[in-house]
């Protein structure tokens, strides 16, 4: 038996090409998943360039798609007027910085899941895209799977009746990762589908998990969601499973539906019109044979890439826009908090250990509201300001001072004898060595590098030759950039992602490339100044002051 869904959203996403000739996309990151984006944008005639730090991956992209432009420097892509938008397929910790720089450069942005690793950063990207009138789309791929779209249409049409509960299994043996746990790696797609079916946000989220291959990284998690309507959902993910399973089950009052992505296409969506009959006051199930739902076959990723191009052309909001990405991110963050609480040495479900009672930092001083994740290590003689947060696997060495409301991401090392001002944000995988001083409100992008010795040798002690590096108030250091020791970064300067700084950067200077060269000027709000040294974003005006800039007028719209 066959069932043909009507599918308003289904047909809308399968419309012919709408984008004009000249809409060109640069794919940033061409590895495990990025190469698939490269392939699809190339097939759609919209691939302008591929950007990656790995020369081998770039060679592979060029061999597979002769003539495609390749580069290793992100600024080259962002300053190219022929590039309309970018598709970001880099590690999750770099999503915010790269997406933000692309939006500031006037590019439409498609970013793979998750949108960011922080709710505040997600909101910042959404607001920035809205101010600039740009498309911001998140790669929740299964929302563009024709089978899920048919299932969603059935649910919205009432064919399933009131939905009682949804569960999903995404299980496999590998691919095991170490930069993120299984929750952040596998669950975003399922959460996105469940939120779409529910049509509302959950009022309660909790999760349990198990760490088997690494004591601090969950290999298996089960996430539970309770919705205000009474609908309940469960997401079971694992990369430590004997067989592959990708299954979404929707149990409605009238019919039950199963989306099994491991089955042949014609069997991927089955309806079970089972009934519950009441006989003598007792419920009795009446089983029925499953009904196959006929769905036209197409590649989900091709549809997703096409949808991004269509939205650029029409100005329409994507199905998985920034707001949808933020809703998924909030569920992930609440699930992670639940996992963290259950892993802490307290009663199950209790909040994480307060930093003052954490055994890792017996002699550290903490301000009110400071938070140290149980996996972080804080040595003696460390001062942590009020409201500061130190996340997973980070290590703060002795005699380090951290100001108020600082956010230190995962796998960060700071110290010894380092001073970090208030309001700083240090993203994942950054080492702030002895000799580095960060003034207030400095942003350090993921995996950026500070050096401390000009000519290091493994077999020659070098700390006696360490040179100080000072980063002034409000400066931004982009993802994967390198700051060679002994150079000062001026206040509100902006070092682009991947740049290598070999000389001092003036206040408000925008530098790019290797070695980094002055490429313009930026406002304190982060926007690039025009040729008159005025900010198109907040309206502030500047004038030359020595090697840098000084503010001459602050607009009422100016950022405080």
Number of domains in the chain: 2
Report the pLDDT averaged over residues 283-312: 91
Q: What is the pLDDT of residue 347?
A: 35
The owner of tokens 């005025």 is: 534
Whether 506 is covered by a domain: the verdict is no
Average pLDDT, the chain: 87
Whether 505 is covered by a domain: the verdict is no
Quick check: bond before 112 cis, omega within 30? Answer: no
For residue 151, which phi and psi values (nearest 5 degrees)?
-65, -45
Considering the domain architecture, whether residues 29 and 117 belong to the same structural domain is answered as yes
Report the pLDDT averaged over residues 127-140: 96
Considering the domain architecture, whether residues 125 and 150 belong to the same structural domain is answered as no
Q: Cα–chain-centroid distance for residue 261?
A: 25
The closest alpha carbon to 129, from 259, 257, 317, belongs to 317
- pLDDT classification of 350: cutoffs 50, 70, 90: very low
The closest alpha carbon to 121, from 92, 142, 87, belongs to 92
Considering the domain architecture, whether residues 148 and 267 belong to the same structural domain is answered as yes
CATH number, domain with residue 265: 3.30.360.10
Considering the domain architecture, whether residues 15 and 137 belong to the same structural domain is answered as yes
Task: Please enumerate in sequence order all residues whose Cβ is within 8 A of that of 120, keeping only pairs 6 or more positions apart, or say none.
Answer: none
Considering the domain architecture, whether residues 11 and 104 belong to the same structural domain is answered as yes
CB burial class (10 A; 0-12, 13-18, 19+) of residue 559?
A: middle
Per-residue tokens: 512: 């790019």
- pLDDT classification of 357: cutoffs 50, 70, 90: very low
Contact (CB, 8 A) for 309 and 23? yes
The owner of tokens 């963050």 is: 333
CB burial class (10 A; 0-12, 13-18, 19+) of residue 92?
A: buried
Q: What is the pLDDT of residue 519?
A: 94
Considering the domain architecture, whether residues 110 and 83 belong to the same structural domain is answered as yes
pLDDT exceeds cutoff 90 at 17: no
pLDDT exceeds cutoff 70 at 142: yes
Q: What is the pTM of this model?
A: 0.64
Q: If you write DSSP's letter for every residue of 340-394 in order, what string do you get?
A: HHHHSSSSTTPPPPPGGG-TT-TT-EE-TT-EE-TT-EE-SS-EE-TT-EE-TT-
Stretch (H or E) spanning 100:
helix 95-104
Whether 112 is covered by a domain: the verdict is yes
- pLDDT classification of 554: cutoffs 50, 70, 90: low
Task: Please enumerate in sequence order all residues whose Cβ is within 8 A of that of 260, keeping only pairs 6 or more positions apart, or say none.
Answer: 246, 247, 267, 268, 270
Report the pLDDT averaged over residues 102-126: 93
pLDDT digits (tens, 9 = 90+) for 30-79: 998 999 999 999 999 999 999 998 899 999 999 999 889 998 888 888 98
CB burial class (10 A; 0-12, 13-18, 19+) of residue 63?
A: exposed
Whether 238 is covered by a domain: the verdict is yes
Q: If you write DSSP's letter for every residue of 241-309 in order, what string do you get?
A: EEEEEEEEEEEESS-EEEEETTS-GGGSEEEE--EEEEETTEEEEE----EEEP-----HHHHHHHHHH
Whether 62 is covered by a domain: the verdict is yes
Distances from the Cα of 36 to the Cα of 53, 112, 147, 383, angstroms: 17, 12, 20, 46
pLDDT exceeds cutoff 90 at 310: yes
Q: What is the pLDDT of residue 57?
A: 92
pLDDT exceeds cutoff 60 at 166: yes
| Residues facing 285 on adjacent strands | 276
Whether 492 is covered by a domain: the verdict is no
Boundaries of domain holding 126: 2-141+301-321
- pLDDT classification of 2: cutoffs 50, 70, 90: very low
Whether 64 is covered by a domain: the verdict is yes
d(CA 269, CA 103) in angstroms, rounded, equals 38
Q: What is the pLDDT of residue 322?
A: 96
Considering the domain architecture, whether residues 89 and 167 belong to the same structural domain is answered as no
pLDDT digits (tens, 9 = 90+) for 418-442: 999 999 999 999 999 888 999 999 9
Q: What is the pLDDT of residue 22?
A: 63
pLDDT exceeds cutoff 80 at 468: yes
pLDDT digits (tens, 9 = 90+) for 207-247: 999 988 887 788 999 999 999 999 999 999 999 999 999 99
The closest alpha carbon to 53, from 73, 68, 33, belongs to 73
- pLDDT classification of 404: cutoffs 50, 70, 90: very high
Considering the domain architecture, whether residues 56 and 182 belong to the same structural domain is answered as no
Count of CB atoms within 10 A of residue 243's CB?
8
Q: What is the pLDDT of residue 465?
A: 65
The owner of tokens 């950026």 is: 448
The closest alpha carbon to 140, from 336, 324, 333, belongs to 324
Q: What is the pLDDT of residue 464?
A: 61
Q: If you write DSSP's letter for every residue of 123-148 in order, what string do you get?
A: HHHHHHHHHHT--EEEE-GGGG-HHH
Q: Is 497 left (phi over 0), alpha (psi -120 to 50) or beta?
A: beta
Considering the domain architecture, whether residues 230 and 269 belong to the same structural domain is answered as yes
Considering the domain architecture, whether residues 161 and 274 belong to the same structural domain is answered as yes
Considering the domain architecture, whether residues 70 and 18 belong to the same structural domain is answered as yes
Whether 345 is covered by a domain: the verdict is no
Rounded to a whole number of angstroms, the distance between the first and last alpha carbons of the chain is 64
d(CA 349, CA 101) in angstroms, rounded, equals 38
CATH number, domain with residue 34: 3.40.50.720
| Residues facing 420 on adjacent strands | 402, 438
- pLDDT classification of 23: cutoffs 50, 70, 90: confident
Q: What is the pLDDT of residue 11?
A: 34
- pLDDT classification of 286: cutoffs 50, 70, 90: confident
Q: What is the pLDDT of residue 390?
A: 94
pLDDT exceeds cutoff 60 at 354: no
Considering the domain architecture, whether residues 182 and 253 belong to the same structural domain is answered as yes
Q: If you write DSSP's letter for every residue of 18-73 in order, what string do you get?
A: -SPTT--EEEE--STTHHHHHHHHHHTT-EEEEE-S-HHHHHHHHHHSTT-EEES-
């Amino acid at each position: 038996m066959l069932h043909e869904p009507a599918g308003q959203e289904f047909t809308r996403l399968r419309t012919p090409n709408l984008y004009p000739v000249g809409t060109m996309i640069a794919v940033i990151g061409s590895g495990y998943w990025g190469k698939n984006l490269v392939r699809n944008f190339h097939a759609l005639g919209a691939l302008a360039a591929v950007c990656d730090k790995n020369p081998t991956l770039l060679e592979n992209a060029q061999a597979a798609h002769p003539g495609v432009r390749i580069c290793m420097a992100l600024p080259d892509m962002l300053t190219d007027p022929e590039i309309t938008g970018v598709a970001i397929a880099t590690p999750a910790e770099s999503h915010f910085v790269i997406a933000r720089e692309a939006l500031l450069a006037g590019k439409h942005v498609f970013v793979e899941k998750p949108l960011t690793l922080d709710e505040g950063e997600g909101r910042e990207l959404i607001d920035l895209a809205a101010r600039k009138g740009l498309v911001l789309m998140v790669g929740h791929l299964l929302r563009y799977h024709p089978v899920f779209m048919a299932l969603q249409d059935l649910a919205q049409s009432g064919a399933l009746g009131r939905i009682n509960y949804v569960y999903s299994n995404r299980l496999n043996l590998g691919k095991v990762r170490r930069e993120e746990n299984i929750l952040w790696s596998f669950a975003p797609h399922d959460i996105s589908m469940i939120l779409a079916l529910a049509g509302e946000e959950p009022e309660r989220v909790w999760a349990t998990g198990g760490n088997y291959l690494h004591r601090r990284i969950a290999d298996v998690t089960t996430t539970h969601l309770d919705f205000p309507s009474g609908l309940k959902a469960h997401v079971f993910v694992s990369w430590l499973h004997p067989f592959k399973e990708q299954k979404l089950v929707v149990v409605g009052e009238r019919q039950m539906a199963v989306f099994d992505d491991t089955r042949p296409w014609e069997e991927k969506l089955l309806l079970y019109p089972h009934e519950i009959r009441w006989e003598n006051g007792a419920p009795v199930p009446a089983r029925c044979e499953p009904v196959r739902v006929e769905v036209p076959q197409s590649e989900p990723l091709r549809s997703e890439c096409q949808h991004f191009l269509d939205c650029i052309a029409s100005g329409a909001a994507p199905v998985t826009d920034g707001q949808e990405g933020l809703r998924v991110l909030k569920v992930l963050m609440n699930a992670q908090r639940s996992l963290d609480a259950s892993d802490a040495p307290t009663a199950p479900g209790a909040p994480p250990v307060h930093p003052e009672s954490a055994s890792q930092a017996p002699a550290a001083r903490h301000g009110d509201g400071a938070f140290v994740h149980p996996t972080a290590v804080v040595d003696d003689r460390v001062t942590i300001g009020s409201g500061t947060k130190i996340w997973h696997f980070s290590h703060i060495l002795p005699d380090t001072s951290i100001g108020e409301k600082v956010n230190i991401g995962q796998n960060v090392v700071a110290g010894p004898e380092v001073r970090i001002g208030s309001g700083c944000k240090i993203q994942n995988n950054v080492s702030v060595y002895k000799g580095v001083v960060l003034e207030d409100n400095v942003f350090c992008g993921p995996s950026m590098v500070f050096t401390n010795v000009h000519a290091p040798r493994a077999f020659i002690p070098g700390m006696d030759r360490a040179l100080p590096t000072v980063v002034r108030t409000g400066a931004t250091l982009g993802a994967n950039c390198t700051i060679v020791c002994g150079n000062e970064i001026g206040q509100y300067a902006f070092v682009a992602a991947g740049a290598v700084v070999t000389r001092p950067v003036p206040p408000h200077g925008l530098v790019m490339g290797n070695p980094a060269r002055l490429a313009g000027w930026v406002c304190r709000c982060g926007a690039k100044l025009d040729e008159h040294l005025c900010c198109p974003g907040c309206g502030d005006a500047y004038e030359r002051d020595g090697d840098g800039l000084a503010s001459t007028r602050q607009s009422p719209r100016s950022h405080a």
